[in-house]
Amino acid sequence: MTELFQQEPNWLVRTLAGFLLGYFFTYIIKGTNFIWRKIFSKNYLTGQWNSYYQVWENNRPVLKRENWTIRFGYNSKLRVNISTEDNLSYRGELFEEKGNLIVIIKAKDFNERGFGRYPIPIPGNDTTVVGLYLGIDFNGHATACVNILSRIELQVNELSILLRENTDVDAANGMMRLKH
């Protein structure tokens, strides 16, 4: 057996090098893409966003606000970190699907996921986007609501106007959709 290693130690080195290269290949590609995007790419979604939505809390609808930070991600093209007024934190990813921006978030400190669908704010690089959010309300019930994303801070009267102008509610059938 020792004669085999003395005569041909190269096969073991090649096998180990091939294994390590094969194992780390996807990480090398992802790391290269991440560095390339970070240095050379600009994305219109990156930066700070304000999120506004109404949710049930103590069996009453309450207007809530969140701060979203969107940046380039390692495993996905875009990542989002969300902090709320109630000191809750979420992390997630964004991707585009059929002309919509899809957001999938997960709470950092407890077990909860949320999903959002928004129109892509281009070609005009809109500062305000109205979308739908699906998650859990503060009473622990599943909820769907309208969510407003804005680069600028909005006043309460502006929010109510945006909600009325962009939402189509059919109370008789229990349905809601966006008008765009």
pLDDT (tens digit per residue) in 63-116:
889 999 998 887 778 889 999 888 889 999 998 888 889 999 998 888 889 999
Pick 118 or 59 by higher pLDDT.
Answer: 118
**pLDDT, position 125:** 67
Q: How confident is the model at residue 49 (pLDDT cuts 50, 70, 90)?
A: very high
DSSP classification of residue 76: S
For residue 141, is pLDDT > 70?
yes
pTM above 0.95, yes or no: no
For residue 3, is pLDDT > 70?
no
Mean pLDDT, rounded, for 51-73: 86
Written as six digits, the tokens of 144 are: 């769907």
For residue 55, is pLDDT > 60?
yes
**pLDDT, position 51:** 92
Determine the Cα–Cα distance for residues 36 and 78; give it in Å rounded to an integer.
13
Over the range 8-24, which residues count as b (16 or more CB within 10 Å of their CB) and which as e? eeeeeeeeeeeeeeeee
Strands 89-97 and 47-57: unpaired
Residue type for 7, please?
Answer: Q
For residue 8, is pLDDT > 80?
no
